[in-house]
Structure 1
C-alpha cells in the first residue's frame, strides 16, 4: 500500500456544470483511531446532503472530500475494534463531522457500520445506508412504530431514496397502511412495486388526492417537502397525529399544529455519530437491514449506476440528484480508476 490515495473533493462552491466543482486529488491514507475501520471504498452513492454541502459550504480553497454512503472492504482496524476484522465487506453512511467517502480509503467508526448484505454487490449495497438509517429512525425512533402498529402513514416524495426505504420498512415491520406520493408515471410505478397500498399525485390538490384514498385522514406523515405544506398536513392529520421531517425550510411556522395537538419531529441520521458516538444503534439497524435484504424482504434502490469513482462520474451523479427527479438512488461503483 502506498502512502497516498486518490480522492475527489472541492475547493470552492461552484455550479456542478463547472469542471472545478469536483476535482480529482491525492491525499495521505489516514490512520485508524481506536474504534475506526480503514475501508477500501468500492462503491458510493450520492444523496441530497452531498449537493447541499457542496453548494452551501465554501471550504475557502482547502480540499473538502464529500460522500457519506459507501460499501467496501476493511483493510485495517483500530486497537479497540471488536465487531469487524480485516477482509470484512461493509456498508455505512459515515458522519458529516468527518472527511467523506469519496476517497480510495476511508475511516469510519465501527459503531455506525454494518456488514454488507451478502446478496448484493458493492454498488447495490452503497445505495442503502443513509436512506435506510433515516427511514428506520423516522419509523421506529420518531414515530415509535412496531409490528403491532396500525393507522395510516403518508410518505411524501415516496419515490426518492428515503421514501423508497420508508415504504419497504413500514410494509415489512409494521401494520400501517402506506400512502405514497409520486407525480410521474415511472415514479408511481416504482412506489407501487415497493409495496405502497396507495399512490397519489402530490402536485395539485394534495389534500383532495389523499382524502380520496383515506377519507378519515392519516396518522403519520413523513416529509422531505415541508415548505408550503404545513396547512395541508394539519388538514390531513387526525388529532394527535405526527409528522417527521428531514428538510429545513426557512421560516417554518408550526403554530397551526396546536389546534389538533399534533407533534412535529426532526430526523437527522447524523445525530448519533455527532453526539452519541458510543451508541451502537446504527450498527444494529444496519445489521438488521442486511439480514432483511438477504432474506428477500428488502431490496436495493439503485436506479442509476455509474462507473468508475472519479470526479467526472461524481459530477454527473450530483447533476442527477440536483435535478430533483431521481427515482431511487444514483450509485457509483467499480472502485477507483488508476
Structure 2
C-alpha cells in the first residue's frame, strides 16, 4: 500500500468566532516527508480542548489545521523510529509547531506518542492525551507528589477536562486528600465518581476550605487572594491559564509558590525527550488495569466541519463535563 502524500483536513482559514464561515473549512493538505522520528498516523478520532479554541481565535497566517488530541493507526514510520511499527494503535496530543489532528492523516513525532489503551476504542482514547499529560506533569513534576504524599489538594473545576484527570491521578496514585470544586449537581457527581473525597462550590472556597497544600488552577483571574487565604504556609499553586496582568503578591506572606504548567513545553523546547511517550504508555497500562478511565462524555460522528463546530461550541459554553470527542465512525 502506498503512503499518502496528501490529507483531507478541516482548517480555520482566518482567526474568528465559532460561527464564522472561515473557522471550519475542508482543505487538501500536503503531507511533509517524514523526519527520522516521525510517524504518519491515520486519524480515527479527535477531541476538542480549550487550547483548540484559543488557536482558532488567535493564530497568525493561514490556513491553520486545528486539533491536538488524536487516536489512530500508524501507517508509515521514519527511519529512526524505534517504539512503533506500521499497524500500531496510538494516541497523542501533538505539537502547536505542526499541523493539527483534524485531518485524515497527521505527521507526529514518535517521542510524544503513546500506545493506545487496548481496552478503549479510538474515541475513548482520544479524550485522554492532552488532559492526562497536563495533569500528570502538574502533579508529579510541578507539585512533586509521590505515592507517599499526604496533605490536601484543591482541584478547581474538578469536572472539567484536565480537572477530571487531576482528580483521578491524585486519588489513585498518591495519598493526598482530593477536594474538587463544582457547582452543578451533575458536575459534583462526576467529580465524586472520579475519586474526589469532597466537592465544594468554587464561590464558597473561603468558607469551606482551609489548610490546603496544593491548588490546581485552570481559572486564576480574581482568585489569587482566595488561594492565598485557603492555602497553608508554603502552599503551592499550579496554573494552566494565562490571565493578563496576574498579581501573585498575595502569596508572599505565607511563602507560597505559583508555578505554570504547559504540556507543550517538551514538544517545543525539549523535542528529544520521551517523557510524554512514557507517561502516555503508563496511562494506557493504568487504564487497561482498570485504575483510570476515559473522560469522554459525548461523541459526535463523523469528523466534519459541522461536528467540529458543534464540539467547539460545547467547549466554549464552559459547562462541559469531561471531554467531547469527534470520531471518524
What is the TM-score with the length of structure 2 in the denominator?
0.97
Matches within 5 A, 1:241-280: 241-280=235-274
Q: Deviations over 1:249-306 (max 9, x none)?
A: 0110011111100111100000000000111100100000000000000000001100
In the alignment, is residue 11 of structure 1 matched against residue 13 of structure 2?
Answer: yes
Q: Is the 8 A contact 1:115 1:290 kept in 2?
A: yes
Partner of 1:231: 225
> Hey, what's the Cα distance between the residues in 1 that align with 2:106 and 2:58?
23
In the alignment, which residue of structure 2 is the partner of 1:208? 207
Q: How does 1:1-338 map to 2 (within 5 A)?
A: 1=2, 2-59=4-61, 62-203=62-203, 205-211=204-210, 217-334=211-328
Q: Distance in 1 between matches of 2:5 and 2:216?
A: 45
CA distance in 1, matches of 2:128, 2:300: 16
| Structure 1 residue 22 displacement after superposition | 1.0
Question: In 1, are the aligned partners of 2:118 and 2:288 still within 8 Å (CA)?
Answer: yes
Structure 1 runs of 4+ with >4 Å offset: none
Per-residue deviation, residues 89-115 of structure 1 (Å, max 9, x unmatched): 000001111111111110111110000
Deviation at 1:4, TM superposition (A): 2.6
Contact map agreement 1:243 1:263 (CA 8 A) in 2: yes
Gaps of 5+ in 2: none
CA contact (8 A) 2:228 2:250 kept: yes
Deviation at 1:308, TM superposition (A): 0.6
Separation in 1, partners of 2:270, 2:22 = 36
Distance between the aligned counterparts of 2:71 and 2:33, measured in 1? 19
Counterparts of 1:313 and 1:19 in 2: how far apart (Å)?
A: 14
Q: Report the alpha carbon displacement of residue 31 of structure 1 after superposing the two structures with TM.
A: 2.4
Tell me which moved more, 16-25 or 304-313: 16-25
Q: Which moved more, 1:163-172 or 1:20-29?
A: 20-29
Q: Distance in 1 between matches of 2:113 and 2:5?
A: 25
Summarize deviations over 1:185-232 as a string: whole Å, max 9, x none.
Answer: 1000100000100000113x3211324xxxxx1100000010000000
Q: 1:202 touches 1:209 (CA, 8 Å); kept in 2?
A: no
Aligned length, in residue pairs: 327
Task: Indicate conservation of the 8 Å contact 1:11/1:58, yes or no.
Answer: no
So what's the TM-score if we normalise by structure 1? 0.95
